[in-house]
Every structure is written in structure tokens, then in C-alpha cells.
Structure 1
Amino acid sequence: METPIKLYLESYQQICKEINDEELSFIEEHLSISEIKAKHYYLKAGQIQKSIGYVIEGLIRSYYIDEKGDEITVGFIKENEYATDYGAFIRQKPSKYYFKCIEPSIVVNLPYTTMQEGYKKYKSIERYGRLVTEEVLILQQTRIESFLFENAEERYLNFIKRSPNLFNRISLTYLSSYLGIERQSLSRIRKMLISK
């Protein structure tokens, strides 16, 4: 089986085909691996994320706690995705979100300082960073627009279409929170769609 670091570097090559061995070595020598049990945190609100985390295996839920003390889910980070409060990470400010493992997870960590140094030294690493940033922006924009332009049923159907393999890995409670739908309403939507 391939090591987590090898899998991470391969993902780098898939996104940025022109990256060379020197650039990959520069990245590789600074990487670390976190193995986190289910129900344990990768990052907590109030902490400054010193490394950006790439999920090799597992599933992480990001959420914040509202003024009533409720956990509001804002995302699910699965394999081949970055676990980060990206805006806070880039500015090295405390995160507003918790990142808690739903499943045991293996995460490869790339330090912020290495990333910034890589941007200065290597064009391919800078390009990779830009492509990842664009992807993060698209995901955030898609989520905002889903609340502005879609009703509850459409949000649910689009989630299933975008993430079909996630559906059986998360609870209805987490999913209803993520979609901004009461749990009972989500159950009703699901029953209605099954009976169609």
C-alpha cells in the first residue's frame, strides 16, 4: 500500500502536472502525518492552523457553535480534500471553526511557512496554491448560492448529486444542520422523494 505522503505528492502532480522532482522533494521534506481517532479534533476554534491538512483517509466535519450553543455544520472533508479554515489559515488568524473526525482519519500536513517559501521559490508550487485557492473559493461560493437560490429540497438533491458517496457516512442530524433544514423536514423530504 502507498504511504500517505506518496499519495499526497501524487495528488499534487495530478493538479499541477509540470511540477518537477526538486519541487516535490522540497515539499516532501516538510510534511508530517496526523492519525486522528473518530470524535477527536484535527483543529479547534480559537487555534491558529500552522499547517494545511490534506485528508488521505477518513471524514472530518467542520462546524461552529452559535449563540444558542448549537453546533452548525458548515462542511464535510473527505479523502483528497483539504481540512482548513482557509481564510484564517492564509492570514494565520485563529479559526472560527472546529474540525472533528467523524471517522478515524489520516491527514498529511504541509506547514504554512513551507507553503509560503515554496510560492517564492518555485513557479509550479505557486500555481498549485492558486489552483487550490480557486477550488476553495468555488466551493464556498456554491454553498452561499445554495442558500440564496435553492429551496430545501434542491439543496438536498444537489448535495446527493455532488457527494453521493458521503450520504451513508454522515448522520441525518449533521446533514440537516449542513443543509439548514430541520431534521424532521429533511426526513419528510427524503420520504417524499422515495415515494415519487
Structure 2
Amino acid sequence: MEAGINTYLDALRLISPNLTDFELSQFAARLTVRELKKKELFLQAGKVQKTIGFIATGLVRSFFIDNNGNEITVGFYAEGDYATHYPAFLSRQPSRYSIQCLEPTTFVCFSFEDQQWIYQQSPNYEKYGRLIAEEILKRQQGRIESFIFQTAEERYLDFIKNRPGLFNRISLSHLCSFLGIERQTLTRIRQKLAHQ
């Protein structure tokens, strides 16, 4: 448990080096650690997300179920990322997404109330929160634009280039769902690239 919290505090220091030891210890006292097994849900669609989870170890995916009953993967989050449907977390509304562990995962968690409390205590935390929110926004915008401006092959190449450590940790079916392509399309893309 302690190791997970230390991992999180190190990540905080990297982004906000101005945080004092006192500020960090204030926040650390409010953190909880949650360990989930592979396939367990951190967040279930239709529920209000009570805590944000910083991923100390492990890997999760965010997905929704479409009108035909298919699971559509919208994101993969590994060590150093946050497991959250952030707009729903901030608005205290039920999430449209589920977050499922693809590996045994350790989360360092804090509640909405804890987040608001620490923002009031320290402008350094407010800055950290803004930077994280900006990163989430950039990723979401990048994902939307990938479907507008890129071909399936370009999305695949982008994934391999920008998330190389994830490729061997996720199933091909989850990858296909994330890329918005059928399995046979992915096979064709990989065969084509292998012969270039």
C-alpha cells in the first residue's frame, strides 16, 4: 500500500515540483489504496464515480456497450495514468463508461471532496489539477480527430508508435475495438506492413 502511495506522490512531484513536503503529506493522509484483480471493474457504467484512481501498477481499459450489445473500447490506461471518466466525476453524474482491469491493478484513490479540499489548501494542487485536466482534454481531442483525419492503418501505426509498451499487454479484440476496425482488417494492415 505504501509503495503505491509513494509512486503517486513521486508522480505529483514530477508535474508540480513546487509542492512542499507538508502539502504532500496533507494529501497523502486522505489517499486510499485499492487493489483489483484482472477483469474486475473499477467503475461501472450507470454509477457515479466516487473516486479517481491513479494507477500505481497494472492496466485498465475504458469501454461502453453499444446498442447492439458490443463492447467498444475507448481507452487504455497504464501505470502513471488516471482511471476516470473525468467529466462525469466532476459533474457527479452517472458515467456512461465502465473501467475494467486488464491486469491485477493497484489504484491510489481520492474522492471528489478530497480533490476540492486540497485545491482550497494549495494553489500548487490547483495547478496540478489543471495540468492533468489539460492532458485528459488533449487525449480526448486526439482520439476524436484520429477518427476524423486518419485511416485505420494510420490509427494503428500511431498506437504502436505512441503506446509501444501496451501492444503485448492487450488483446487483439480490445485493440480492434479501440481502433474501430474488424479483426480481419487489422490482420490485413499487419500483413501489409510486414511486407514493406
Pick the TM interval, shorter chain: over 0.9
TM-score (norm 2): 0.98
Q: Secondary structure at the match of 2:68?
A: coil
Partner of 1:57: 57
Q: Identity of paired residues, percent?
A: 49
For residues 39 and 190 of structure 1, the distance between their equivalents in structure 2, rounded to whole angstroms, comes to 28
Partner of 2:100: 100
Q: Secondary structure at the match of 2:106?
A: strand
Partner of 1:149: 149
Q: Secondary structure at the match of 1:177?
A: helix
**How many residues align structurally?**
196
| Alpha-carbon shift at residue 2 of structure 1 (Å) | 6.7
Q: Secondary structure at the match of 1:108?
A: strand
Letter in 2 for 1:48: V
Are residue 38 (structure 1) and residue 38 (structure 2) matched?
yes
Give a deviation string over 1:47-89, Cα, whole Å, max 9, x none: 1111110001111011000000000000001000000000000
Are residue 18 (structure 1) and residue 18 (structure 2) matched?
yes
| Alpha-carbon shift at residue 21 of structure 1 (Å) | 1.5
Partner of 1:136: 136
| Alpha-carbon shift at residue 120 of structure 1 (Å) | 1.6
Partner of 1:177: 177
Unpaired segments ≥5 residues, structure 1: none
RMSD, aligned CA:
1.1
Partner of 2:192: 192
Letter in 1 for 2:179: L
| Alpha-carbon shift at residue 187 of structure 1 (Å) | 0.9
Partner of 1:162: 162
Runs of 4+ in structure 1 off by over 2 angstroms are none
For residues 90 and 22 of structure 2, the distance between their equivalents in structure 1, rounded to whole angstroms, comes to 25
**Cα distance change of structure 1 residues 2 and 120 upon mapping to structure 2, 3 Å threshold:** closer
Partner of 2:112: 112
Give a deviation string over 1:10-66, Cα, whole Å, max 9, x none: 100000010011210111011001110001111100111111100011110110000
For residues 159 and 184 of structure 2, the distance between their equivalents in structure 1, rounded to whole angstroms, comes to 18
For residues 118 and 31 of structure 1, the distance between their equivalents in structure 2, rounded to whole angstroms, comes to 11
| Alpha-carbon shift at residue 182 of structure 1 (Å) | 0.9
Are residue 121 (structure 1) and residue 116 (structure 2) matched?
no
For residues 120 and 93 of structure 2, the distance between their equivalents in structure 1, rounded to whole angstroms, comes to 21
For residues 125 and 2 of structure 1, the distance between their equivalents in structure 2, rounded to whole angstroms, comes to 21
For residues 49 and 15 of structure 1, the distance between their equivalents in structure 2, rounded to whole angstroms, comes to 24
For residues 82 and 116 of structure 2, the distance between their equivalents in structure 1, rounded to whole angstroms, comes to 17
Are residue 69 (structure 1) and residue 61 (structure 2) matched?
no
Letter in 1 for 2:50: K
Unpaired segments ≥5 residues, structure 2: none
Partner of 2:89: 89
For residues 46 and 37 of structure 1, the distance between their equivalents in structure 2, rounded to whole angstroms, comes to 21
For residues 41 and 144 of structure 1, the distance between their equivalents in structure 2, rounded to whole angstroms, comes to 25
For residues 168 and 10 of structure 1, the distance between their equivalents in structure 2, rounded to whole angstroms, comes to 26
For residues 42 and 137 of structure 1, the distance between their equivalents in structure 2, rounded to whole angstroms, comes to 21
